[in-house]
């Protein structure tokens, strides 16, 4: 769910995108030109921008290049739309700073999937505040985990898994949910893989006596029991 700015001068396409975004629970806003988009950005920063390449006046990549030089809009996720399928244009679009790229005609379902993936990818990065559960401290910015001043060694997947669990404590996560949230979209990994990494995570936490933080909920999945270590 997010505020999405749709910059597209063709009303029918803009409306179609907005319709699908609303259906997914997002709050779309349509801008029909560069100046219109600029005004919308000044008023309120969206969570994501869908930007058409061909616009009256300044084309999408020019707008995007300018947004990327402004600290306020520098890291806004942008999906570029274009009718041109040439590889050089794709490269230009990505060079201008687009996070993703879709060629017209596209299926709304695919655009929605890209929006979802990009919002999800960006969301954890935005929250760089250190996380704590009992003695366990996780510093997302430094990618380090400590317990009572002692640093624990975690593999990259175990780190992501722990970060996700610590961000959502006291909640049961199914293996499918963990695959979706930790491993991301388009993964074709067996759910058993989650068990393997949970085991590795517990092994890494054991020297600090924090392995029991990760509880197995029979028939459901896993839970981080933040209260448990304080007991
Ligand atoms: Ca257009």
At 179-203, the pLDDT tens digits run: 888 887 545 778 888 999 999 999 9
Domain end, chosen from 89, 104, 125, is at 125
SS (H, E, C) 99-113: CEEEECCCCHHHHHH
Tell how far the Cα of 185 is from the centroid of ligand 1, in angstroms: 29
Q: What is the CB neighbour count within 10 angstroms for residue 61?
A: 21
What CA–CA distance (Å, rounded) separates 97 from 62? 10
Supply the pLDDT for residue 38: 94
- Average pLDDT, integer, range 160-184: 88
Supply the pLDDT for residue 142: 87
Domain that holds residue 193: 131-230
Tell how far the Cα of 95 is from the centroid of ligand 1, in angstroms: 20
Same domain? 38 vs 87: yes
What CA–CA distance (Å, rounded) separates 53 from 157? 36
Supply the pLDDT for residue 165: 93
Tell how far the Cα of 32 is from the centroid of ligand 1, in angstroms: 9
The owner of tokens 């560069």 is 34
192 phi and psi angles, rounded to 5 deg: -60, -30
pTM recorded for the entire structure: 0.55
* CA–CA–CA angle 145, 116, 21 (5° rounding): 145
Same domain? 70 vs 108: yes
Query: What residues have a C-beta under 5 A from ligand 1, the ion?
Result: 9, 52, 54
Tell how far the Cα of 74 is from the centroid of ligand 1, in angstroms: 23
What CA–CA distance (Å, rounded) separates 228 from 212? 8
For the chain, the domain total comes to 2
**Could you report the per-residue pLDDT of 57-81, keeping only the tens digit for each?**
999 999 999 999 888 888 899 999 9
Tell how far the Cα of 182 is from the centroid of ligand 1, in angstroms: 36
- The rounded percent of the chain whose pLDDT value lies above 90 is 54
Tell how far the Cα of 52 is from the centroid of ligand 1, in angstroms: 6
Supply the pLDDT for residue 154: 94
What CA–CA distance (Å, rounded) separates 113 from 176? 17
Of 24-28, 59-63, 116-120, 205-209, the one with minimum mean pLDDT is: 116-120
Q: DSSP letter string over 92-154?
A: HHHHTT-SEEEESS--HHHHHHHHHHHHHHHHHHH--S-EEETTEEEETTTTEEEETTEEE--
Burial class (CB in 10 A: 0-12, 13-18, 19+), 74: exposed
Domain end, chosen from 125, 140, 173, is at 125
CATH number, domain of 183, equals 1.10.10.10
Same domain? 110 vs 219: no
- Average pLDDT, integer, range 31-55: 93
Tell how far the Cα of 57 is from the centroid of ligand 1, in angstroms: 11
Residue 64 and residue 92 in contact, taking contact as beta carbons nearer than 8 Å: no
Mean pLDDT, the chain, integer: 87
Same domain? 11 vs 95: yes
Tell how far the Cα of 10 is from the centroid of ligand 1, in angstroms: 5
Of 26-35, 133-142, 157-166, the one with minimum mean pLDDT is: 133-142
């Amino acid at each position: 769910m997010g505020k999405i700015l749709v910059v597209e001068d063709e009303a029918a396409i803009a409306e179609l995108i907005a319709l699908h975004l609303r259906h997914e629970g997002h709050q779309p806003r349509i801008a029909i030109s560069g100046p219109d988009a600029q005004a919308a950005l000044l008023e309120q920063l969206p969570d994501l921008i869908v930007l058409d390449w061909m616009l009256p006046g300044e084309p999408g990549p020019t707008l995007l290049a300018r947004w990327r030089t402004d600290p306020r809009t520098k890291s806004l996720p942008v999906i570029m739309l274009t009718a041109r399928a040439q590889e050089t244009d794709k490269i230009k679009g990505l060079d201008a700073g687009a996070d993703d790229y879709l060629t017209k005609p596209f299926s709304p379902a695919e655009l929605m999937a890209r929006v979802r993936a990009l919002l999800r990818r960006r969301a954890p990065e935005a929250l760089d505040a250190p996380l704590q559960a009992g003695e366990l401290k996780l510093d997302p910015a430094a990618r380090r985990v400590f317990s009572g001043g002692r640093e624990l060694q975690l593999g990259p997947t175990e780190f992501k898994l722990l970060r996700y669990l610590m961000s959502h404590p006291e909640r049961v996560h199914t293996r499918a949910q963990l695959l979706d949230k930790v491993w991301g979209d388009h993964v074709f990994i067996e759910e058993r893989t989650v068990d393997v990494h949970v085991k590795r995570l517990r092994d890494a936490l054991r020297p600090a006596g924090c392995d029991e933080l990760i509880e197995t909920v029979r028939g459901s999945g896993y839970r981080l029991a933040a209260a448990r270590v304080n007991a």
